[in-house]
Structure 1
Amino acid sequence: MKAIELKSYVSALALGSAMAVYAPAFAQQPAAPDPAAPVAATDDPPQGLDVIVVTASGRDKTQLNSSVSVTSVNASVISDFLPSSESELLRMIPGIQVAGTAGPGGNANIAVRGLPVATGGSPFVQIQEDGLPTVLFGDIQFGNNDYWTKFDATVASVEGVRGGSASTYASQAPGAVINYISHTGLQEGGFVQLSQGLGFKETKLDFRYGGPINDTTRFHVGGFVKNGRGPLKAGYDVSQSYQIKGNITKELDGGKGYLRVLFKTANTQEPNYTGSPAIATINGLSVKNVKAFPGFDGRKGSNYSIYNQSFQILNREGVLERVKMDGITTKANSLGAQFRYAFSDMVSVDNNMRWTQMSGGFASPFFNLSLASGVIGSVIARPGLEDAKVASIRYANGPKSGQVFTGRYVDNNVNVRTNIRDIGSFANDLTVSGKFDTQLGRVTARAGYFYMDQNIAMDWHVNKSLREVSGKNPAQLDLYDAAGNKLTQDGISGYNNNWGECCARDYDLSYTNTAPYIALDLDSEKFGLDGSVRFETINASGYAIAGGKEFLVTNNGVQIAAITANGNRETLDYSRTYTSWSFGGLYKLNTDTSLFARTSKGGRFNGDRQTVSGKINPDGSLNQAGRTASVDFVNQSELGVKNRGAVFDGRYTLEVTLLKGDFKQSTYELTATRCPGGAGGCIIDARYESSGAEFYSTYRRGPLSLIGNATYSNAKRSGADSNGKPTPFSRAPGIADLSYTLSANYDFGERASLGISTTGQTAAIDDAGREYPGAAIFNAIAKVTLVNNLELSLQAYNLFDTFDLRGNGGVADTSVIPNVISGNPALGRTVTAAIRYTF
């Protein structure tokens, strides 16, 4: 660590400690919470540092007395913040670094603590619902974990644990565990809310209700129904979704425990945002003055088009089939059960189980800006025939159908359809705890066993496609030779071959993860110590088939090159074991302040991304390269302070954590996104390291409440040169030095409230080292109670319509001024009105 970094860390910790020491001067001290007390029996749980940590922990300590970095955000704060997607919701948790521009369907790259995403998804972050993962791996190809969990009215809070015990209380989550915690009907009541987009077509109905059935039984049920074209004003209804979740809880033996049955049914169809063009000034590696592209403003325009709302694929049976361009779709039915019982003051047992039947799909028009001049004169390979040379481009459909296309730019990215036939699972987590009083303090010993069987069955269809560049119903473009012969059909020039032979895939895989784990915790009046270890075993089975050689398919008289998954068949039959550990200590400076330190080493298994990459032997075992790449280990160290107190007649909480981490990764990249030379399919070997700090604070004074978080990262990456030797560390792409979220709310009596919030980040670089400017998005919400229990609200996202290019893209044209680039901007100004009836 550099001296200046160390000096900054020490200064920050000293500042936090000083605030902690002097906080008692502002107010009387409340009684310290009893660490052994059960979770409070209310649907309005304690706030701030008094919240009992239930995620990736022993479930018996408050945040103040836990030696982990943990943040709990309740549902009302999330709703007022108005996140535009599931990934932007995660920006409310410090340490989680995500652009937030993926859209409501998902497919975000979720980094944590400066440890970037080498390929896609969230390899080190596990998303849970009520304590169990929705999918075992966060970076399943075309099945990222943010597809399968949607924030709805049944969620009481979202809790995030970073580092530390995430490595040992959960599998495949050395970076963080994010847990969506449900209401359970402890208090009778609920609401129904109807929301409507203003200036765009989108209607959503949210509802929840719960309460006691009798003295020992209670229930809760809720969800949403959503329909519309979305704020990017797609040409057709790209959002058609519903989700219903519920639970019934039976208290046992006078409060010694409970049995809870949970269920969910969901059928969602939501778009993922694939990017847009923009204009900017590029000077060397500096990209400045980023603005919307004329004719395609990514804040308001969509690549989803009525002229491409269905398209043809060559399916796994080798037959042309017309499919919908319906974004990211999910179908899920799950049934779970939670059992908790204290056999005595010393011994208790917890078991959490869930069976899930789940499938879905990924259909999207990826965006890539290219010069049309590069298409004219290009050659289209046709196996068995003479190559064809492109002489002209014409509109394939739309109002200009048949006319010659004369535009400067085209969108030449893929039309992709992935059928997720089965991504169901069964998971169970059993823990037995024993508590013992000693002279040093209370000792808690825990032993647990986690089991999860995860299916992953998919077939991929990645068509070569061409369309015009427009933010409003872009038309498909067809290619012709000099004799006027048509070379493409409906803008498609190839079936399943856009990324080469690797990626016309068909596979049916199963991964079984078993993990016994043990933890020991000492809690005394002034300090606490804890250690835990987890022993992971992964058994992989199934098969994967990649594409074979190209051949011609005739569609309406046009012969088009195609690939099907009839190449080499790879059989999986191997096991991999590894160990994760974590050790931490806490010092209770006083009843309002604690200092903690933690170090950990956590592993995550590289699942389906190992397939079709040369890492599996013919007998199904891993070769040496496969064994090396099969597990990525994350090393982390952290030092933090937690404090609460009073200042200026209000109450505050403060959490500051200094951190350092590193990991190595060898993974297969299937697209041209990060492959040298733009080739689809390559192995990426890299090392990553990061140092930084997390900040989270709340303040409440009468009707005013403030919440803020920030994450600073000094993230670096070392790749490999042409000889396979590591390159020097340099700034990691896609990670801003500073990202932050701030929120303020003011209640005007009982009839009205006003809230404002902002989320932003500083500059970040792309893979080529070009730096893109950061920006901040401001949001606002106003609520008015018309009559008792009837509330009208008006929400505005991106109030000032800022063009914030968070998802950095590439450079398309530097021959014009301003230069033309591409990327993923945040949504523009989006206003929604809602009426809610509470009962």
Structure 2
Amino acid sequence: MPSLQVHLYQFLNRLQFRLQTIEKNIITGSGRIESAGREMMKMRIMGLLMTSSMAVTVPAYAQQQTLAEDQSTPSDEIVVTAVARGQNRLNSSVTVSSLSNDDIAKAAPRSVAEIFRNLPGIRSESSGGEGNANISVRGLPVASGGAKFLQLQEDGLPVLEFGDITFGNADIFLRSDFNISRVESVRGGSASTFASNAPGGVINMISKTGEQEGGAIQATAGIDYRDYRLDFDYGGRISDSLRFHFGGFYRQGEGPRQAGYDANKGGQIKANITKEFAGGYIRLYGKYLNDRAIGYLPNPVLVTGSNSNPKYQDLPGFSINSDTLHSRYFRDNVTLDGRNNLVTRDIRDGQHPLVYAIGLESQFELGDGWNVTERFRYSDVSGGFSSPFPSAVDTGSAIATALGGAGSTLTYANGPKAGQAFAGSDYLAQIVLFDVKINSMNNITNDLRVSRDFDTSIGKLTATAGFYKSRQTIATDWLWTSHLFEVAGGGNAALVNLTNAAGQALTQNGTYGYGATFFGNCCRRSYDVDYNTNAPFASLSLATGALTLDGSLRYDFGDAKGTIAGSDLGGGRVGVTSRDMNGDGVISIPETNVAVIPTPSAPVDYSYEYLSYSFGVNYRLADDVALFARYSRGARANADRLLFGPAVSTVTGKLTDSSAAVDFVKQLEGGVKYRNGGLTLNATAFHAKTEEQNFEATTQTFFNRNYRAYGLELEGGYRAGPFSISAGGTYTDAKIASDVLNPAVVGNRPRRQAKFLYQVTPQYDAGIFTVGANVIGTSSSYAQDSNQLKLPGYTQVNAFLTVRPMDRIQLSLNANNLFDVKGFTEAEDATIPANGIVRARSINGRTVSASIRFDF
């Protein structure tokens, strides 16, 4: 195969050049690839991806692709995530669950957050669209947003070093497609010592690597919503020692809610090639993700009844689970960029991850029983985040009077009713447009570990030592603006103008201020900070008969260096000016509220360190049952949410409170695991104590508190002939143990923390067809830490039907939220407001899709 050899030769040459360039940048201390170099790098990474794809053009085999990528060693038996080395699940003292790609398809997920809901112990608030989900584990808090104590990984390395970067949550940069072999999660336990900044656990999306010959192509279309998607993948062997896999997706459509335009548009391609040799392998892989996905923030909903027994219902003409405060008439944001230059940004970009990644993974023997595992990845990450947030919602007349005084009037600023009067009884939203330009979230990560087994007189001793290194850049500009916006469904809402009784225009084309005017002109920010993380770690495991003992240590030390700018820093910095934004030569009232990035900037220059440890015991009572227990202390280094607060000096960049840099988590867990034929049962009791210091952008609130949580996690499965069922449930009793800034909430349940979460998936597989349902449920929780307004419990049913009319052809029908329930995951309001309008996020309404798949 001469052409194949040429392609492989080019692939390896380009990789060598890229690694040399990265090495040169590190040695020279640049730490940042400048603009021209970055573009060159992007082109080279794309070249690698294309070369990999071209190199794997081999004959198609008439063989249906299944889960056999992992069937030779079932994924629920071997743990590879957040452990020293892969090990049998019944011999490990960690709590682990996995989902195959078949399990994922049954759940009919519209985002990775909807996949994670099916993992026991995981609270995944999947109401934000493709990304920006709040994700937690076992009662650990979500004080602000994202996944602070839980790390999201791809193939054993973090997507981003920190899972809760403001407007850059890790799941925004993660997509599920046919490349995924399985999803594996480890809660608590060894996550503290085998991953940095992940004391609560790790969710690892593991890719196919060509172990199974064949591929698939699938076309999917929404039946009751406008969405079209194509998925594909192919893998197999090039020779006895060389295998490959590549795949990806592309989709376009409005998305699960009515936005009035194609709100989801983009795709991903991933490729890897593996060379096997005596005693190990080396794998090269690449990823290109360029996707525009709408992001849903809280929307208005009418609430009656009492705080303890509320009734949630749609506002007239606006569905809380099928509509959104996006519109075909609200597409452009006129603002100033991070250098105070006039720009017009496209709101339709939504959550826009742009990722070019290249990596290497290798395992090999050094001799004398020593084994080495090396994982390396460089990711060039940029993009943006844009979505409207309602600072207040009320009738038009109430808002007009509040903003403009008595006698103020409202008119449509655009749309089919432009210039006509806006009815005072209709609902109006004061919108703060969260528009954030992500200049760079580049990260470079390396995990190197060495291990060896020693035979001793009392059993086998396994020793592991390693070193983890990462550099995470967080460079963003916050370019928020404020608008008056009609509350209407169907993607047809228009901007609204306000005029006071004296005839003065208080808006300009629906814009009330060119900054976060409804938030007191806060938050015009720009920052560029690099976070270095270093972590040596070591573990010992002793297996003697039925008993396994293990212990591990990890010492994290790092620093944060860079600059931040914004009027929130104080010190006489002025963040508002007057400027002619529309170029008509006249300064209107809104143009007197133009937010700018003030000078001077402030430094960030501090360091931190902490020790993590974990000790476990596992006892194999019999071949099919084991008991285990584990105690761990881990921590999470705080990143950008620590900035602009009192913990970092605006003069020196040093910490004013050394304890603010790190939040510790202590966990005790124990349980039983059972495997026998078609029956699988796991039960884990847990107790956790958590420190939390954080900042929430939407409420401008800082947190400094401690939490306590304990509970029970259950998971099981049963198979008998064509029938099978899997289920999981988690009971959690959590409370706020102490609070430095707000002692009134001590003893309360943390906001949005339900006492019971569950998932059940029964199915019947008759060969020619498979039918079943995936049921997700939660009990009630509180909207805020004051424990007043309740978020009702709900049950969501996702149904699936697959028919195989002939070999290698599969027809599927999937319904997400079949019964169109409203399921509230969060609310901004602590109590029911006087006007009864609460700003909340619900899960998406019913969406039904149909697919046709060809396996080859």
**TM-score under structure 2 normalisation?**
0.87
For residues 777 and 167 of structure 2, the distance between their equivalents in structure 1, rounded to whole angstroms, comes to 28
Q: Spell out the pairing of 1:815-834 with structure 2 (5 A cutoff).
A: 819-834=836-851
2:480 touches 2:524 (CA, 8 Å); kept in 1?
A: yes
- Which residue of structure 2 aligns with residue 545 of structure 1? 565
- Which residue of structure 2 aligns with residue 301 of structure 1? 323
Q: Spell out the pairing of 1:95-174 with structure 2 (5 A cutoff).
A: 95-104=121-130, 106-174=131-199
For residues 184 and 729 of structure 1, the distance between their equivalents in structure 2, rounded to whole angstroms, comes to 49
- Which residue of structure 1 aligns with residue 362 of structure 2? 339
Q: Secondary structure at the match of 1:235?
A: coil
Q: CA deviation at 1:757?
A: 1.4
Q: Secondary structure at the match of 1:731?
A: coil
> Given residue 546 of structure 2, which amino acid in structure 1 is its aligned partner?
K
Q: Spell out the pairing of 1:141-220 with structure 2 (5 A cutoff).
A: 141-220=166-245
2:435 touches 2:480 (CA, 8 Å); kept in 1?
A: yes
Q: CA deviation at 1:312?
A: 1.1
The answer to whether the aligner puts 1:378 opposite 2:408 as a matched pair is no
For residues 49 and 532 of structure 1, the distance between their equivalents in structure 2, rounded to whole angstroms, comes to 24
Deviations 1:277-301 (A, max 9, x none): 3333322x31333333321112221
Q: CA deviation at 1:739?
A: 0.9
Q: CA deviation at 1:155?
A: 0.5
* CA separation of 1:759 and 1:46: change in aligned 2, threshold 3 A: farther
> Given residue 577 of structure 2, which amino acid in structure 1 is its aligned partner?
F
- Which residue of structure 2 aligns with residue 835 of structure 1? 852
- Which residue of structure 2 aligns with residue 787 of structure 1? 806
Deviations 1:473-502 (A, max 9, x none): 211111112132212122221223344455
For residues 852 and 368 of structure 2, the distance between their equivalents in structure 1, rounded to whole angstroms, comes to 47
> Given residue 117 of structure 2, which amino acid in structure 1 is its aligned partner?
R
Deviations 1:235-262 (A, max 9, x none): 0111111100111000012xx1000001
Within the candidate set 634, 642, 663, 1:632 is matched to: 663
For residues 258 and 521 of structure 2, the distance between their equivalents in structure 1, rounded to whole angstroms, comes to 36
For residues 50 and 727 of structure 1, the distance between their equivalents in structure 2, rounded to whole angstroms, comes to 41
Q: CA deviation at 1:754?
A: 0.7
> Given residue 592 of structure 1, which amino acid in structure 2 is its aligned partner?
D
Q: Secondary structure at the match of 1:376?
A: helix
2:649 touches 2:655 (CA, 8 Å); kept in 1?
A: yes
Q: Spell out the pairing of 1:483-522 with structure 2 (5 A cutoff).
A: 483-498=502-517, 499-500=519-520, 502-522=522-542
> Given residue 363 of structure 2, which amino acid in structure 1 is its aligned partner?
R
* CA separation of 1:316 and 1:459: change in aligned 2, threshold 3 A: same
- Which residue of structure 1 aligns with residue 778 of structure 2? 761
* CA separation of 1:459 and 1:643: change in aligned 2, threshold 3 A: same
1:640 touches 1:658 (CA, 8 Å); kept in 2?
A: yes
For residues 661 and 706 of structure 2, the distance between their equivalents in structure 1, rounded to whole angstroms, comes to 15
Q: Percent identity between the aligned chains?
A: 37
Q: CA deviation at 1:720?
A: 3.6
> Given residue 206 of structure 2, which amino acid in structure 1 is its aligned partner?
I
> Given residue 537 of structure 1, which amino acid in structure 2 is its aligned partner?
F
For residues 301 and 671 of structure 1, the distance between their equivalents in structure 2, rounded to whole angstroms, comes to 21
- Which residue of structure 2 aligns with residue 524 of structure 1? 544
- Which residue of structure 2 aligns with residue 21 of structure 1? none
- Which residue of structure 2 aligns with residue 654 of structure 1? 681
The answer to whether the aligner puts 1:58 opposite 2:90 as a matched pair is no
- Which residue of structure 1 aligns with residue 639 of structure 2? 607
For residues 445 and 764 of structure 2, the distance between their equivalents in structure 1, rounded to whole angstroms, comes to 43
- Which residue of structure 2 aligns with residue 581 of structure 1? 613
Q: What RMSD, in angstroms, separates the aligned Cα atoms of the two structures?
A: 2.0
Within the candidate set 562, 568, 571, 2:603 is matched to: 571
Q: CA deviation at 1:700?
A: 1.1
For residues 742 and 295 of structure 1, the distance between their equivalents in structure 2, rounded to whole angstroms, comes to 34
* CA separation of 1:758 and 1:368: change in aligned 2, threshold 3 A: farther
2:783 touches 2:826 (CA, 8 Å); kept in 1?
A: no
Q: Secondary structure at the match of 2:695?
A: strand
- Which residue of structure 2 aligns with residue 318 of structure 1? 340
Within the candidate set 226, 246, 252, 1:227 is matched to: 252
Residue ranges of structure 1 left out of the alignment (5+ in a row): 1-40, 381-387, 673-680
Deviations 1:730-766 (A, max 9, x none): 11111111111111121113x2111211101000111
The answer to whether the aligner puts 1:744 opposite 2:762 as a matched pair is yes
> Given residue 689 of structure 2, which amino acid in structure 1 is its aligned partner?
D
For residues 753 and 248 of structure 1, the distance between their equivalents in structure 2, rounded to whole angstroms, comes to 34
Deviations 1:415-447 (A, max 9, x none): 121000111111000000011011221101110
Q: CA deviation at 1:148?
A: 0.8
> Given residue 214 of structure 1, which amino acid in structure 2 is its aligned partner?
S
2:300 touches 2:393 (CA, 8 Å); kept in 1?
A: no
Residue ranges of structure 2 left out of the alignment (5+ in a row): 1-66, 568-573
411-420 or 590-599: bigger deviation: 411-420
- Which residue of structure 2 aligns with residue 86 of structure 1? 112
Spell out structure 1 runs of 4+ moving beyond 4 A.
46-50, 724-727, 811-816
* CA separation of 1:329 and 1:390: change in aligned 2, threshold 3 A: farther
Deviations 1:615-661 (A, max 9, x none): 22356443332x12110000110011100124xxxx11111110010
- Which residue of structure 2 aligns with residue 686 of structure 1? 705
1:379 touches 1:390 (CA, 8 Å); kept in 2?
A: no
For residues 807 and 727 of structure 1, the distance between their equivalents in structure 2, rounded to whole angstroms, comes to 18
Within the candidate set 637, 642, 649, 1:617 is matched to: 649
Q: CA deviation at 1:86?
A: 1.6
The answer to whether the aligner puts 1:559 opposite 2:589 as a matched pair is yes
Within the candidate set 792, 795, 810, 1:776 is matched to: 795
* CA separation of 1:47 and 1:823: change in aligned 2, threshold 3 A: farther
Q: Spell out the pairing of 1:460-479 with structure 2 (5 A cutoff).
A: 460-472=478-490, 473-479=492-498
1:573 touches 1:619 (CA, 8 Å); kept in 2?
A: no
1:49 touches 1:644 (CA, 8 Å); kept in 2?
A: no
56-65 or 242-251: bigger deviation: 56-65
1:68 touches 1:598 (CA, 8 Å); kept in 2?
A: yes
For residues 277 and 545 of structure 2, the distance between their equivalents in structure 1, rounded to whole angstroms, comes to 32
For residues 68 and 492 of structure 1, the distance between their equivalents in structure 2, rounded to whole angstroms, comes to 54
2:505 touches 2:589 (CA, 8 Å); kept in 1?
A: no
Deviations 1:506-563 (A, max 9, x none): 1111011010001111112211111111010112111000132322223344232022
2:723 touches 2:763 (CA, 8 Å); kept in 1?
A: yes
* CA separation of 1:497 and 1:822: change in aligned 2, threshold 3 A: closer
Within the candidate set 360, 383, 401, 2:418 is matched to: 401
> Given residue 753 of structure 1, which amino acid in structure 2 is its aligned partner?
T
* CA separation of 1:231 and 1:555: change in aligned 2, threshold 3 A: same
The answer to whether the aligner puts 1:282 opposite 2:305 as a matched pair is yes
> Given residue 540 of structure 2, which amino acid in structure 1 is its aligned partner?
L
> Given residue 302 of structure 1, which amino acid in structure 2 is its aligned partner?
T
* CA separation of 1:493 and 1:369: change in aligned 2, threshold 3 A: closer
- Which residue of structure 2 aligns with residue 666 of structure 1? 693
* CA separation of 1:721 and 1:614: change in aligned 2, threshold 3 A: closer
Q: Secondary structure at the match of 2:844?
A: coil
